[in-house]
Structure 1
Amino acid sequence: MNDNGSIVPWRNSVTPYMVEPMDVSTSRRFRACVFAGPARTGKTDALILNKTGHTISCDPQDVRIVHMSIDAAKEFARKKLAALIRYSPEVAARLGKDRYDDNTLTKNFEGNMSVDVAWPVPAKMSASDIPLMLLTDYDRMPEDIGGEGTPFDLSFKRTQTFGSRGMTIAESSPGRIVLDDDFEAPENQPHLAPPCTGILAIYNRGTRGRFYWPCPDCSESFEPDFRLLQYPEEGTPAEKGQAAFMACPHCGCILEHRHKRERNQLARWMHEGKGGQLVSIHDEALRETDIASWWLNGTVAAFQSWAELVTRYEGALEEFVSTGDSKALKTTVTVDQGKPFSERITADDDELSVKELRDRAEKYQLNIAPAETRFLIVAVDVQKGRFVVQVFAFGVELEHWVIARMDIHTPPETAPRAKDRAIDPARYPEDWDVLFDLLEREFPVLGLAFSLVPVALVVDSAGEDGVTKNAYAFYRRSKIKGYRGRVFISKGMTRWDRDRAVLRTPEKQEGKRLKQASDLKILQIGTWRLKSELVAALSRTDPGPGACHLSKNLPSEVFEELCAEEKTAKGWALKKGKKRNEAFDLGVYALALVIVLKGERINWNRPPAWAAELEKNAFARVRPMASDHEEATGDGGTAEVETEAETATPESPKPERQVRPNRKKRSRSRHRRGLGDY
């Protein structure tokens, strides 16, 4: 092995964490070995060079070493493979004597075996069967080789012919981005790595081994990790690094870097069992897989100190804060710490996370409006095969609560073939009529003898081909049905310079010249600005003006959807690996609708009838008081999320008018006629 530029004999005592992976690489129980870890751990020497030398000396068979590029392959062959042969007498003695046996990229040995060094191209990965495939620096290879698959899977296929004698070995420091920044390992899979491509994706398919130290004080085992290092908050990066130490998470016992070698000697690998318990790799309860996998943290690495780890991390963090460039930060996290890089590290302090939202969620019951409610808003997102609906209860100073979330899958009974299909907003304009029932649904107000119906409904007009046309038709029908001023169709507008929310009448062209105003009024939303406002509302930790409250009884996907986007220099965008953001969009629609209803201008001492106290509210109706059990404050019970159209939009009588609106020539109740023409 290479030690500070000198070639020295391999010693297991220097890198004891590599002993088990090397031993298992000769096993016929597994068909692959995968090792993820930081640089400076000795993983390449152990799993690539030592495995090659052992095969040449003890088990002659063809070996192919694959590096990340042709230049890297040539350098590896000239420096590392050549050194293995030159400084290992047993290996050198078996090298062929013919003039063609010792080429740069191909070496022939006794026993009719060869070792060749290649790079990830189809001709090298798919052309022939090789019993031993060795992949080094895996995460710097292309993710797909000529459209045929990953380098690992192609290599795995090359060794299949040889049955239990075939072996694929891959090693690398993690170099890919985490696809879900809110990932948390489930309890029954404690060693599961965050979702990302590359070496950790293969690690997750394997036995998932982690390296555990025993504490010298309490004897409890723990995984040494960078997050367990403690150092001063003040000082230069180098000063912080020099002061770094580790504390046992069980008893607080202090460990210094000088203790690392001793702890490594006493440590052991623990893999996941079938039920999520931690077992040795030889235990019968080991996960059912033919891939043995290990993931090592940078604090354990033999050839780098804790002072170096901290100094590099803090220096890179300072560079990111001052310049916004995260390249150095990514490098030290992946190469030094041996972890995949997460954008969460560089996120704003106030950026939402799923865990934070769940922790702050409150114990209030769904489908019941809080006692502080003054009006309700319904927001609807159009998806293939469903309408996604959220109901918001707004109080004084626009403090608001999400009180309902439902997916409507079933068409209204009046729609064609309603009993034989799912709802289809793009093809059937009749399916949109299911939304009218939402405007008539009554939500009881907690502790009061009133219920409220929604003031207005807003629905997105974008989606599959046909959605926009049907949204326009729905808007026109709403006026015919008497919901003028209560139904809005929206259109999101990107860029920071957009109005937050404005109603605009588009122009339509007839013929080549004539233009006239359309009968449509579209709610145009500056989504980037309102998304930032929604994040601020959700981030507020105490009640008050503008705060947005979430219930612990909301479906888990609501919390995930609220955190599905991130604010970038180019605007708001979906995070990598995220596809659903409906809850985030619905929150924006609701805020936009409140703006165009002039909710931000309300004088709460003299509010309009639609936002008045319930005794005077035009959208309130008297109801019999419910039992205390019905209006429990949210430990579960009846707080179920409705997902079917039958329960999402029950028929109910039209709300009774509580106060005659002070409008001239208005004979029908205001909640039926709407809030006026906007």
Structure 2
Amino acid sequence: MNALMSPAALQDGIEELASGECLVDAFDLIGAAIELLTPPESISTVDCAEKYRKLPGPEDGAVIPYDRWRTPHNIGPMNALDDEACNLLVMPKPSRSGGTAVMENYVFKRIKFGPMTWVSWVLNSDEAVTAYCRNVVKPMFELNPDLQARVGTARGDDTDAFKKIRGYPVEWLSAKDSTFRNRQPGVMVLDESDANTKKYQSSPRTQIDGRQKLLGNRKKGAIISHPDLGWKAGVGAAYEDTSRGIFVLRCCHCLSHAAAYATKFWPGVPQFKLDWQKDPEASTDERLDMAEKTAAIYCPHCGAAISDDERRAMIDAAVTSGGNAIDGYMHRGQRLDPEAGVIGDPDPTPNRGFWVHGTMLKTETMGKLARDYQAALIHYERTRDPKLLKEFMSKQLGEIFEGAATLGNLSADKVMERAKPSDQNPGYDRGTVPAEVRFITAAVDTGARKFDVAFKGWDLEGRSWLIDRLTIRQRRHADGTMRDLHLSQNVDDWLVLIDEVVERRFPLEDDPDLVMPVACICVDSGDGNVTWKAREFARRALTAGHVWGKRWAKVKLIKGASGKRPAVPDAPRKVDKGEDGKPVEPVIVEYTLGADELKVTIYERLAIDDGSPGECSFYRGFEQRFADEFFGETKTDGKWVRSGPNETLDLYGYAEAARQILKPDRADIKWAQGKLPPWAKPVPLQPKGGDPVRGGNEAPAQAEPKKKRSTIDRFAALNQRN
């Protein structure tokens, strides 16, 4: 009976209900559930950020909306993330370029509109996580209440570095073992990965692939960092296996197109260049002020200096002008025509790369950039310590510091320019000896299944002319069949060098009836797998009579060694024992070269372009791949580090060693009087008695001893033979 209400209580309840005080407004109910009743908004990452995201202003607690035109170079990367076919985004970038905001905006859109997934954001240290969460994550949720409303309310669902949103974790972590275990995030961001600990900095792509390999095409990964580690690791290495996007600008003066920064992967693509007036004799303050006041980017086509206002307008136009460029970027599969712009369609790839350069930042002035650049150069001039310059290149320019190549303002494109004929320099044909050449050296770099070979001609002041560059991979056997070389297994394979290198002769450009022999051949024996085969080859060549005079061997074995040592030692090391440790004849010698010193010398000479002593010249049609090999190794922090094929760089060092071994400057050689040593004397192409008959690739038999003759007779015979 207690459950029954009295008539009076019932009357009071009816009146209370009738008053509406206990009822919820129907419109409030609909408003609370409207998200469940409305399909998610179909919106791009860029539009979502610009329409909904609020950011802390620079002062006085201001709140500002996201503005795409503050960093228009980031529109392309954000649009790429919206493409379902894109699984990985790689962005080498300078500081304060807004690159991190690309992924922030993408995660913002996923949280707000879905589809939601597990998000792992990895920074380089616990301190970096704390600072990022305090300065970026916290304001993101505080200034955007609709995001905060999606965060779970259970204990642990809402901390500084962890949010549970619609049942999925969104976490900010430091790069360490536990981070890369037992996780399968649908979105994984490696932020400033080049600053990770050594264990994780070299292979960010591997870390992402390991965590996402079971997700198929639903995954998104991002590697965003300054290119601190160069081409060999980190974001620079990851960029290679992407679409390799570069930003293309159109000059406001001549209307021709060029890249903001072409990277080494786009040889031949012209690029705008930051430059300023320089006076090495001025004081430091004067040099810095001059850099700031005169800085501009210069068009590679018309040479016009482009002001900051013009540059900013060009950046906006690159994104909006349409054409085949995608949001201003050119990708693999496309090509650049200076007049027409980007031509063709990009190759399909799930890995999208976007290289951001300091000259692409609208928020930066070229005056400040040039002043900081000049300051870093002055610091290097005084201390020879490249650390500050390396930091500037990576963090402010967004370029990779390439040691001597950077300091000498060298690139593969500049080397290729040397090989192009012009009115002032018509060039010379491959395999011919220019008139300036006094003698020839050869260099052989040994691989497991190949020989890389270079022939260089020299004058008496260190100027050089590349006469030929080739790779030998096969030799003809007795049955006439060409078979691959196997240098660590078969010493007979080495004998291909006799005909192809040791006995090679080159016609003179101004008299093709005369040919010049190869004076000295340096063969690399440093690979432990082939050392003893190289030594046996040198013995066979010596025994077969490939000498100058009585016993001066044409073939010289060399090994490169790092560290401080002379380019070529005063005395070589004798090798008088075989692989079995027993004495063997003839005794040969090996030179241990100062490889570091030789490489520095080569870079210094490559930088010479005014005809001065040491200048390097190249035959017409010199191949791009060989030019690239000059820059497959860089000197960083005092050490040479290989980042790609470097055979041509090594060959130039070996050819220089051969030049020094010859000692062409010694007093007993009377160059001015025309009394040439036999290794520098051209000989008739058709010696008396017709062409010498040669067999296969086997070494010639040793000549039988002859009666003693006068010096004149011996030199005459040598000239006739060689």
The answer to whether TM tops 0.5 is yes
Deviates more, 1:339-348 or 1:375-384: 375-384
Name the structure 2 match of 1:288: 348
Maintained 8 Å contact 2:495/2:698: no
> AA paired with 1:272?
M
Are 1:133 and 2:201 counterparts? no
Following TM superposition, by how much is the alpha carbon of 1:481 offset from its aligned partner in structure 2, in angstroms? Answer: 4.1
Q: 1:405 to 1:420 in 2, by over 3 A?
A: closer
Partner Cα separation in structure 1 for residue 494 and residue 643 of structure 2: 32
> AA paired with 2:128?
A
Following TM superposition, by how much is the alpha carbon of 1:602 offset from its aligned partner in structure 2, in angstroms? Answer: 0.8
Maintained 8 Å contact 2:573/2:590: no
Following TM superposition, by how much is the alpha carbon of 1:320 offset from its aligned partner in structure 2, in angstroms? Answer: 1.5
**What is the aligned counterpart of 1:355 among 399, 412, 416?**
416
Query: Which is higher, the Rg of structure 1 or of structure 2?
Result: 2
Q: 1:42 to 1:166 in 2, by over 3 A?
A: same
Name the structure 2 match of 1:635: none
Following TM superposition, by how much is the alpha carbon of 1:607 offset from its aligned partner in structure 2, in angstroms? Answer: 2.0
Maintained 8 Å contact 1:143/1:150: no
Q: Residue by residue, what CA displacement relative to the aligned partner does 1:70-89 show, whole Å, maximum 9, x if unpaired?
A: 22123322332122222222
Q: Residue by residue, what CA displacement relative to the aligned partner does 1:573-592 show, whole Å, maximum 9, x if unpaired?
A: 56543442452244135314
Name the structure 2 match of 1:308: 368
Partner Cα separation in structure 1 for residue 257 and residue 394 of structure 2: 25
Q: Secondary structure at the match of 1:364?
A: coil
Following TM superposition, by how much is the alpha carbon of 1:69 offset from its aligned partner in structure 2, in angstroms? Answer: 1.9
Name the structure 2 match of 1:75: 131
Partner Cα separation in structure 2 for residue 671 and residue 63 of structure 1: 76
Name the structure 1 match of 2:29: none
Following TM superposition, by how much is the alpha carbon of 1:65 offset from its aligned partner in structure 2, in angstroms? Answer: 1.9
Q: Secondary structure at the match of 2:644?
A: coil
Partner Cα separation in structure 2 for residue 124 and residue 21 of structure 1: 26
Maintained 8 Å contact 1:207/1:289: yes
Q: Secondary structure at the match of 1:74?
A: helix
Are 1:173 and 2:207 counterparts? no
Deviates more, 1:524-533 or 1:322-331: 524-533
Where structure 1 has 5 or more consecutive residues not aligned to the other structure, the ranges are 180-195, 626-644
Q: Residue by residue, what CA displacement relative to the aligned partner does 1:131-165 show, whole Å, maximum 9, x if unpaired?
A: 2323322332357649xx94345435645655555
Partner Cα separation in structure 1 for residue 235 and residue 57 of structure 2: 26
Name the structure 2 match of 1:583: 651
**1:104-119 equivalent positions in 2, closer than 5 A:** 104-109=160-165, 111-119=166-174
Partner Cα separation in structure 2 for residue 286 and residue 477 of structure 1: 54
Name the structure 1 match of 2:359: 299
Deviates more, 1:448-457 or 1:337-346: 448-457
Partner Cα separation in structure 2 for residue 516 and residue 30 of structure 1: 64
Name the structure 1 match of 2:57: 3
**1:86-125 equivalent positions in 2, closer than 5 A:** 86-109=142-165, 111-125=166-180
**What is the aligned counterpart of 2:288 among 232, 237, 244?**
237
Q: Secondary structure at the match of 2:120?
A: strand
Where structure 2 has 5 or more consecutive residues not aligned to the other structure, the ranges are 1-54, 262-270, 280-285, 320-326, 338-342
Q: Residue by residue, what CA displacement relative to the aligned partner does 1:624-666 show, whole Å, maximum 9, x if unpaired?
A: 99xxxxxxxxxxxxxxxxxxx99999999x9xx9xx9624997
Partner Cα separation in structure 2 for residue 288 and residue 52 of structure 1: 24
Following TM superposition, by how much is the alpha carbon of 1:262 offset from its aligned partner in structure 2, in angstroms? Answer: 5.6
Maintained 8 Å contact 2:194/2:227: yes
Are 1:662 and 2:710 counterparts? yes
Partner Cα separation in structure 1 for residue 214 and residue 363 of structure 2: 38
> AA paired with 1:106?
F
> AA paired with 1:168?
G
Are 1:321 and 2:381 counterparts? yes
Are 1:53 and 2:108 counterparts? yes
Partner Cα separation in structure 1 for residue 571 and residue 83 of structure 2: 70
Q: Secondary structure at the match of 1:520?
A: strand
Maintained 8 Å contact 1:362/1:551: no
Name the structure 2 match of 1:610: 678
Q: Secondary structure at the match of 2:347?
A: coil
Deviates more, 1:20-29 or 1:392-401: 392-401
Q: 1:473 to 1:155 in 2, by over 3 A?
A: closer
Q: 1:83 to 1:540 in 2, by over 3 A?
A: closer
Q: Secondary structure at the match of 2:375?
A: helix
Name the structure 2 match of 1:192: none
Give the TM-score normalised by structure 2.
0.68
Partner Cα separation in structure 2 for residue 434 and residue 244 of structure 1: 55
Give the TM-score normalised by structure 1.
0.72
Q: 1:156 to 1:320 in 2, by over 3 A?
A: same
> AA paired with 2:57?
D
Following TM superposition, by how much is the alpha carbon of 1:304 offset from its aligned partner in structure 2, in angstroms? Answer: 3.5
Q: 1:160 to 1:462 in 2, by over 3 A?
A: closer
Partner Cα separation in structure 1 for residue 665 and residue 296 of structure 2: 57
Maintained 8 Å contact 1:618/1:661: no
Q: Secondary structure at the match of 2:169?
A: strand
Maintained 8 Å contact 2:575/2:588: no
Following TM superposition, by how much is the alpha carbon of 1:436 offset from its aligned partner in structure 2, in angstroms? Answer: 4.8
Q: 1:397 to 1:94 in 2, by over 3 A?
A: closer
**1:379-390 equivalent positions in 2, closer than 5 A:** 380-390=444-454
Superposition RMSD on alpha carbons, in Å?
Answer: 5.2
**1:130-279 equivalent positions in 2, closer than 5 A:** 130-141=185-196, 145=200, 150-155=203-208, 158-159=211-212, 165-177=218-230, 179=231, 197-211=233-247, 228-229=273-274, 231-233=276-278, 235-238=286-289, 240-246=291-297, 256-257=307-308, 265-268=316-319, 269-272=327-330, 275-277=333-335
Maintained 8 Å contact 1:505/1:519: no
Q: Secondary structure at the match of 1:9?
A: strand
**What is the aligned counterpart of 2:620 among 552, 564, 567?**
552
Q: Residue by residue, what CA displacement relative to the aligned partner does 1:388-429 show, whole Å, maximum 9, x if unpaired?
A: 555566778897755455555555757xx9958544454444
Name the structure 2 match of 1:187: none
Partner Cα separation in structure 1 for residue 75 and residue 142 of structure 2: 24
Q: Residue by residue, what CA displacement relative to the aligned partner does 1:278-314 show, whole Å, maximum 9, x if unpaired?
A: 79xxx99443022444333323435443333222222
Maintained 8 Å contact 1:408/1:648: no
Q: 1:646 to 1:403 in 2, by over 3 A?
A: farther
**What is the aligned counterpart of 1:339 among 386, 396, 399?**
399
Following TM superposition, by how much is the alpha carbon of 1:35 offset from its aligned partner in structure 2, in angstroms? Answer: 3.8
Q: Residue by residue, what CA displacement relative to the aligned partner does 1:423-481 show, whole Å, maximum 9, x if unpaired?
A: 44544444455555566666555565855574765453724457554555455555654
Q: 1:535 to 1:650 in 2, by over 3 A?
A: farther
Q: 1:448 to 1:465 in 2, by over 3 A?
A: same
Greater relative contact order (CA < 8 Å, ≥ 6 in sequence): 1
Name the structure 2 match of 1:63: 119
Partner Cα separation in structure 2 for residue 159 and residue 461 of structure 1: 44
Partner Cα separation in structure 2 for residue 250 and residue 327 of structure 1: 33
Maintained 8 Å contact 2:535/2:557: no
Partner Cα separation in structure 2 for residue 260 and residue 499 of structure 1: 46
Are 1:44 and 2:100 counterparts? yes
Q: Secondary structure at the match of 1:129?
A: coil
Identity %: 20
Partner Cα separation in structure 1 for residue 302 and residue 458 of structure 2: 48
Q: Secondary structure at the match of 2:64?
A: coil
Partner Cα separation in structure 2 for residue 170 and residue 105 of structure 1: 20
Following TM superposition, by how much is the alpha carbon of 1:201 offset from its aligned partner in structure 2, in angstroms? Answer: 4.2
> AA paired with 2:334?
G
Equivalenced residues, count? 616
Q: Residue by residue, what CA displacement relative to the aligned partner does 1:188-209 show, whole Å, maximum 9, x if unpaired?
A: xxxxxxxx54334444544454
Deviates more, 1:521-530 or 1:53-62: 521-530
